Amino acid sequence: MEKVQKIKVLKYTAIFEPDKETGGYTVTIPALPGCISEGDTFEEALKNIKEAAELYLEVLKEEKEEIPVEENPVVAPIEVRV
């Protein structure tokens, strides 16, 4: 009988920042420090950050490090006077 491998799906908040000079997006995941990617379109940036996050978590797993779990982040715009 084959052993069935369970796959756990985690959700993280990704921040997409438009690059005004070149177009495209730079993307970070705050819960995964150093996990950053980019893409010429939103769709490409989304695909690339998913791949970057999977590789990031794969390395943590291999090194038997704790996998960060994001719990109910609150994202809100703020106004700052200058």
Q: pLDDT tens, 29-55?
A: 999 999 999 999 999 999 999 999 999
The count of structural domains within the chain is 1
76 pLDDT above the threshold of 70:
yes
In a domain, 6, yes or no: no
> What average pLDDT does the segment 7-30 reach?
92
pLDDT at 3: 75
The parent domain of residue 29 ranges over 15-62
Residue of 76 and 47 predicted with greater confidence: 47
Q: pTM for the whole thing?
A: 0.83
In a domain, 67, yes or no: no
Structure tokens at 47: 């695909």
In a domain, 3, yes or no: no
In a domain, 76, yes or no: no
* DSSP for 2-47, written as a single string: PPPPP--------EEEE-TTT-SEEEE-TTSTT-EEEESSHHHHHH
Percentage of the chain exceeding pLDDT 70: 99
What would you report as the CA-atom Rg of the chain, rounded to the nearest whole angstrom?
16
